[in-house]
Structure formats: C-alpha cells, structure tokens
Amino acid sequence: MRDEGGRLLLRVEDLDRGRAREEVAEGQRHDLRWLGIEWDEEVPAQSTRVYPLDGLPTYRCDCSRKRRREGLCTCRHDGGTAGVWRFACPPGPVTYTDEWQGEQTWDCGDDPVVRRRDGEAAYPHAVVVDDHRDGVTQVVRGADLLQATVVQIRIQQALGLPTPRYRHVPMLLGADGRKLSKSHGSDEIRALRDRGWTPDRVWAAILPCLGLPPVHLHEAVGLLAKTIVPAGPFAFDAEARPVPLPPA
C-alpha cells in the first residue's frame, strides 16, 4: 500500500450504539500502536457523521425477516410508511475482480437496511459514503466480506460513485477455528499483553502462519509484500510455544 505511494487511514466504525464507543476506540488505537502499526491520518468516526439517503432509491419496510423470506413483503412496490429504510437493490448477481481472490460473482441477497428504524445510519450505506468522502481508493479487509462487497458496489453504482479496489485477505482464526471478532480483538491483544507477551512475540506467532520466518515487524513488512499469503483462512494459536526471535 505505502510502497505504491498510498496512505493508511484509520476510521472508527462505531455505528452500533450501546457500546462504550470512545473507550473501545481508544483500546483499538492503543493495540495498533503497541503492535507497531502506525496510520497516516485518522478520519472522523462514523458516530460523528451524518448520512443522508439523498439520491439512493430506498423504501420503508416493517416486515419480519420471515415475511421477507417467504416473499410476502410488497413494501418495495407499495411504499411502506414505517420500519427500516431498505435500498431498492437492482436484482441479479454482481461480478467484480478482487485483487487477492480473483473474479467474484455474488448475489446481493435481500435488500440491505440502509437506515435503522430509529433513524440511525446503517453500515452498508455509511461505509460507501465514507470511502468516497475519505478518498479511499483501496480497501483491504477480511474475506468474510467478499459477498457484502457486491451490496456496496450496487450502492456505489446507484450514487454514481467510483468503486475502490478491493483486496480481501484470508481470515485469521482463533486456535479453535472460530473467527476472531472485531469487538473481542482488543480484548485478545490485551490478554496477551497481560500475560507478558511483547509485540515481537505476537508477530513471531502470526508470521509462521503465513509461511514467513519469525522476524521483527519492520522486516516482516518488506517480506509480506513478496509473500503469497494463503488463500484460505489460517489459525492463530496464542497457546503455542513461543518461537525464538533472532536478535534485533
């Protein structure tokens, strides 16, 4: 990214209310810095921005998930007057080229919620608007979002916005094979830190999963650019025996 002249932006995506937003965000910033990951700019958090639905074809729908699944919802055509706001997504599959996983063809699924019942913005729309506002040209994220990307592409098309380049990297799983969640990620790093792990030891545990030698972060960045990261998910085992690091 940076070797191509890019800048790394940090955006706190905190639309979900009910969590200690600033506390969680500060924990995440701290963990990233602790791991040696620095960003060029932090853009405004989603909770501080507004997301008007102007220009996006939407309709209101108060139907249950079951009712929609059974095809009984007619809100898209009849115009609902209550409930969530959904994007009237054009039907049919979308194809795009992922920089890591190659050509992807997915159906968009059910019309996505773009504004919640309480009037709050919803992620699929907010992220598209933010990527445009923040001048994002490349998105690097986990492969669990390969399909969600086609919804974002449909929203970009509806708003006449360009589609950034997408690179979906394999998921880093816990030793139990389950996904490490964003909200728990911070706790996981904190737990390792509390057990006396150093940033070097974390990297030394992750890098061999990628077929790389256990080196220091500054060396690993150079190696990563030239490495074939596995196409499938890989597991991170925090209980594994530490790999000895070469002298700094």
Q: Which residue reads 């504004």 in tokens?
A: 115
Tokens for 240?
């594994």
Is 204 among the residues that bind Zn ion (CB under 5 A)? no
Q: Which listed residue (12, 56, 61, 128) binds Zn ion by CB under 5 A?
A: 61
84 binds Zn ion (CB under 5 A): no
Q: How far is the CB of 59 from Zn ion (least distance, A)?
A: 8
Burial (CB < 10 A; 0-12, 13-18, 19+), residue 206, is: middle
Binder among 63, 172, 173, 235 for Zn ion (CB under 5 A): 63
Position 73 contacts Zn ion (CB under 5 A): yes
| Binding region for Zn ion (CB under 5 A) out of 4-12, 68-76, 110-118, 122-130 | 68-76
Tell me if 108 contacts Zn ion by CB under 5 A: no
| CB of 111 vs Zn ion, minimal distance in Å | 9
The Cα–Cα gap between 118 and 97 comes to 36
Q: Which is nearer to Zn ion, 77 or 195 (CB)?
A: 77
Residues 115-154 as x/- pattern, contact with Zn ion by CB under 5 A: ----------------------------------------
- CA angle, 125 as apex, 122 and 130 as ends, to 5°? 110
Window contacting Zn ion (CB under 5 A); options: 4-12, 62-70, 209-217, 239-247: 62-70
User: Shortest approach of Zn ion to residue 16 CB, angstroms?
Assistant: 23
113 is a contact residue toward Zn ion (CB under 5 A): no
212 belongs to the binding site for Zn ion (CB under 5 A): no
Q: Please report how close the Cβ of residue 78 comes to Zn ion at its closest, in angstroms.
A: 8
Which two three-digit tokens encode residue 62? 């108060």
Two structure tokens written together for 167 = 């690179």
Q: Detail the DSSP E strand segments found in the chain.
A: 9-11, 41-43, 58-61, 84-87, 94-98, 102-106, 113-115, 138-142, 165-169, 172-174, 234-236
Task: Give the nearest distance from C-beta 65 to Zn ion in angstroms.
Answer: 10
Cα separations (Å) of 35 from 1, 2, 60, 172, 210? Answer: 18, 18, 44, 16, 17
At 172, phi and psi to the nearest 5? -90, 115
Of 63 and 145, CB closest to Zn ion: 63
Among 75, 126, 155, 205, binds Zn ion (CB under 5 A): 75
Q: How far apart are CA 131 and CA 152, in angstroms?
A: 10
Site for Zn ion, rule CB under 5 A = 61, 63, 73, 75
